[in-house]
Structure 1
Amino acid sequence: MKHRAITSASSNYAFVGRIAATVIGLAWSAVWTGLTLSILWAWFVIPNFNVPHLSIADGYGIALILRAGLGLREGETKGSENFAHTFQTLMWTAPCASGLFIALGWVAKAWA
């Protein structure tokens, strides 16, 4: 009986940990997405269309609107990867993708 109680408690902690990690991961990617969009907005949209500056929060909101329009693609459904690997991928993907977009934008801005 004691073994079952320990297993149940550890699975509860694992569930709470997954929820916390998901919230942290979403916040982490939100900051990077908003930062990227606000920088690219300042480089390309403001000079061409004379519109107001875009904050990080506004940039993330626009990204959410666009993402909601795309819907869930088949490749993004729940897979067989373990949670730790998925979380590590999320933590590295956001800054790497943002850095790539900013670098490509910087190159395009240098040519403009």
Structure 2
Amino acid sequence: MWGQQPVCAYIMWYARGNGLFSHMVSALPITALLSEGFELRHAYLPIHTHYYLIPWLMGVYLMMILVLLLIIPKNKMQFVVVLPIALILSFIMIYFNVLGRIFGGINGVF
């Protein structure tokens, strides 16, 4: 049990540094939330009367992204660099359907 390390926390430790690698690591959680929140537009809810929840869920994702943007970058310069990197990486993930390829068949989108 003591030999297991939380991998994500270990990687995020590098986000507080300087350089391109730390900026990329800082942008990864924001990228994942942006891509996942954008894919909610294809969400299938079994009971069709609950489609009104999708915009609310997208709002929750937006709030989580804003909190991450306020917490992760340690100064304004890193914020200015991390935001475009996160946007570019999320556009790439959405265009190539990375989440659909990793977790295929969840939404039924090919």
Q: Same fold judged by TM-score > 0.5? A: no
Greater fraction of residues in helix: 1
Instruction: Give me the TM-score of the superposition, normalised by structure 2.
Output: 0.35
The structure whose Rg is larger is 1
